[in-house]
Amino acid sequence: MGGRIRTIALTVGCMLLVACSTVQHPSGDPWEGANRKIFWFNDEVDVHVLEPVAKGWRWALPEMVRTGFTNFFQNLGTPVVAVNQLLQGKPLQGASDTGRFLVNTIVGLGFIDPASQWGLKRHDEDFGQTLAVWGVPGGPYLVIPLLGPSNARDLTGLVVDTAMSITPFFVDGWILTTARVVQTVNARSGVIDRVREVKAASLDYYSAVRNGYQQRRAAAIRDDLDVTPATEENELYYPGEELKPQ
Amino acid sequence: MKTGILMRAALAAAILTGGAGAATTTGEGAGPRAVVEQVSSQVLDVLGRKDLNSEQKRKKVEEIVYAYTDFDVLTRLVLAQNYKKFSDAQLAAFTNEFKRHLSVTYGRNVESYHNEKVQTIGDHEEARGDWTVNTKILRGGGNEDVLVDYRLRKSGDQWKVIDMIIERVSLVSNFRSQFQDMLASGTPDQLIRLLHEKNEKGEPLKANGKA
C-alpha cells in the first residue's frame, strides 16, 4: 500500500519535471552543473568499486554462466516489455515477447534463451519509450546517483516499470537486494572493454556519455525504422545549410 | 538500460580509423556500397595477415582509412558553429590532431581482431545525395553482431566516408557535442592543445572534462 502511494508520488513528481522544463536547451541539459557532479561521483564509485568487482566476476565465472545470468534477468523483465508493447499499440510484438517469456521460463528455466533460436527475437521496450510514443518529450537530461544517465521522461518510465515488474512478495528483501547486486555486477562485467573504449575515445567523457545516451534512446524509440529525424540529419550538414524541419 | 552490444564498437572503429593499408586504388567512380565493401575487405585482409606485427597493421589500416575518409568535411561537421572561430592554421592543426586522436584511440584495436567478418546489409540514399551503407560485424561464437553504418558524400568523383554510426551512435554527433561543450568555455587553441596532449600520452587523460 505504502509502496503504491510512493510510486504514484514519484511518478507525479517526475511528470512535473517533464512539464516544467519545456524550455528548449541546446544539449537538453539545463542542469549540467549538478549532473556533472553526480556523474563524476558515479564514476568514482564505478572506478573504485563496481569495475573492480565486475572484473573479478568476469575472471571467476565462465562466459556461459555470465550469459546465463544475463538471460535470467532479461527474462524476468520480459513481461514488462510485453506490457509496453501493448501500450504502444504493437500487439503482435507483445504476443511474441509473451511467447519468449513462456518458452525461456519453461524450456530454458530462465537461464538459457531457446526462444531466440526459434525466431522469437528479443525486443527492447520500457515505459519511457511508451511515453515517447505517446508524445511525451524527454525533458531535461538527468544523471541519477548510482543509476547513471536518464531524463525526466525515462526516469518516470523507470519508476513505472519497477512498479510493474515481478517482485514476488514472498521472497525476502535480502534476496531481492542480492539479486539486484548480482544483476548490476553481471551487467557491468559485460561492458568492461566498451566503457574503457569510450573513456579513451572521448575528450569530454561527460558530454560523450550524454550524447551517446540521447542517440541510443532516440534509436530505441523509433525502433530502428531507418528514419533519421531532421534534427539529427541536420548535424550532417554545415551550419546554415540545414534542411528545413519536417 | 542494458545496451549490451556495443562492446565491439572498438573493432568497428578500428576498421574505419585504425591502422594500415595495402591501399589499392579503387576503381574510379565506384558506388558508395562498393567503396565500403572495398574498404572492409582491404582492412580485413590486413588484419588477417600473419606476416605483419600490430604496428605494421595499424599503419596499413590507417592508410586505407585515410584514403577513403573526407577529413575536411569531418572537421567542419564536428566543429559546426564553432568552425568560424578557427583560423586556417588552427583548422589545419585541429584536423591533424583529430585524425591522430582517432588513430591512437581506435588503432589499438588492431590487436583484438578475432576473425570477425563484415557483411553489407543495405544501403540507401539520404537527402541531398549523401549515401548510407549499413553493415554488420559478425563476431561469431554466440557473440552479438555489431551494427555499423557509414555515411558517404561524393567528393569529386570519389565517395568518401563522412560519418560512422556504431550501434546507432553517430561519431560526428558525439564529437560535435563534446566540442560544443569544450568550446563554450574554452578557445580553439585550448582544444587543440588538449587533443595534442592526449595524443602524446596515447591514452585517456585521467581527469579530462572533469568540471
Cβ contact, residue pair A203, B178, below 8 Å: yes
Three cell numbers written together for A223? 525502433
Kindly list the residues from chain A whose CB atom is less than 8 angstroms away from the CB atom of residue B203: 200
Instruction: Tell me if A245 is assigned to some domain.
Output: no
Of A27, A194, A199, the CB nearest to B6: A194
Of A199, A207, A215, the CB nearest to B204: A199
Count Cβ atoms below 10 Å from residue A134 Cβ, excluding itself: 11
A45 contacts: CB under 8 Å, gap ≥ 6: A146
Angle ∠(A148,A151,A152) on CA atoms, nearest 5: 130
What average pLDDT score do residues A136-161 get? 91
Cβ contact, residue pair B172, A204, below 8 Å: no
To 10 degrees, what angle do helices A173-189 and A51-60 make? 80
Three cell numbers written together for A113? 534463451
Tell me the residue type at A135.
Answer: G
For the stretch A20-47, what's the b/e string if a residue is b when 16 or more beta carbons lie within 10 angstroms of its beta carbon?
A: ebeeeeeebbbebeebbebbbebbeebe
Instruction: Tell me if A44 is assigned to some domain.
Output: yes
Cβ contact, residue pair A216, B177, below 8 Å: no
* pLDDT tens, residue by residue, B145-194: 888 899 999 888 899 999 999 888 899 999 999 999 899 889 999 999 99
What's the rounded Cα separation, in Å, for the pair B24 and A54? Answer: 44
3-state secondary structure of B151: strand
Asked if B5 and B134 count as a contact pair (C-beta separation under 8 A), the reply is no
Task: Report the gap between the CA of B104 and the closest CA in chain A (Å).
Answer: 9
Of B6, B13, B208, the CB nearest to A203: B208
Of A194, A208, A236, the CB nearest to B174: A208
3-state secondary structure of B28: coil
* Residue B159 φ/ψ, nearest 5 degrees: -80, 130
Is residue A139's pLDDT more than 50? yes
B193 contacts: CB under 8 Å, gap ≥ 6: none
Name the range with the highest mean pLDDT among A230-234, B138-142, B170-174: B170-174
pLDDT score, position B81: 87
Please tell me which residue of chain B has the smallest CA distance to A244.
B127
pLDDT score, position B4: 38
DSSP structure class, residue A30? T
Q: How confident is the model at residue B18 (pLDDT cuts 50, 70, 90)?
A: very low
Q: How confident is the model at residue A227 (pLDDT cuts 50, 70, 90)?
A: very low
Three cell numbers written together for A74? 532479461
Q: Which domain does A213 fall in, by range?
A: 34-60+126-137+170-239
3-state secondary structure of B152: strand
Cβ contact, residue pair A26, B180, below 8 Å: yes
Task: Report the gap between the CA of A20 and the closest CA in chain B (Å).
Answer: 24
If you compute the radius of gyration of chain B from its CA atoms, what whole number of angstroms results? 17
Instruction: Tell me if A75 is assigned to some domain.
Output: no
B204 and chain A in contact, CB less than 8 A:
yes
Mean pLDDT, chain A, whole residue set: 82
Q: How confident is the model at residue B70 (pLDDT cuts 50, 70, 90)?
A: very high
ipTM of the complex: 0.78
What's the rounded Cα separation, in Å, for the pair B20 and B110? Answer: 9
Please tell me which residue of chain A has the smallest CA distance to B123.
A226
Strand partners, B146: B137
Greater model confidence, B55 or A41: A41
Cβ contact, residue pair B163, A191, below 8 Å: no
pLDDT score, position A38: 94
% of chain A surpassing 70 pLDDT = 78
Instruction: Tell me if A49 is assigned to some domain.
Output: yes
B180 and chain A in contact, CB less than 8 A:
yes
What's the rounded Cα separation, in Å, for the pair B151 and B172? Answer: 10
Please tell me which residue of chain B has the smallest CA distance to A227.
B126
* pLDDT tens, residue by residue, A164-214: 876 666 677 788 888 888 989 988 988 888 888 888 888 899 999 999 999
pLDDT score, position B152: 92
pLDDT score, position B190: 93
Please tell me which residue of chain B has the smallest CA distance to A218.
B168
Is residue A70's pLDDT more than 70? yes
3-state secondary structure of A115: helix
pLDDT score, position A168: 64
For cell 557473440, the residue is B143
Number of domains in chain A: 1
List the single range of A129-143, A228-242, B138-152 with lowest mean pLDDT.
A228-242
Instruction: Tell me if A110 is assigned to some domain.
Output: no
* pLDDT tens, residue by residue, A10-64: 666 666 666 555 555 667 889 999 999 999 999 999 899 999 999 999 999 888 8
Cβ contact, residue pair B173, A237, below 8 Å: no
- Give which of B132, B170, B175 is closest to B151, Cα–Cα: B132
Is residue B138's pLDDT more than 60? yes
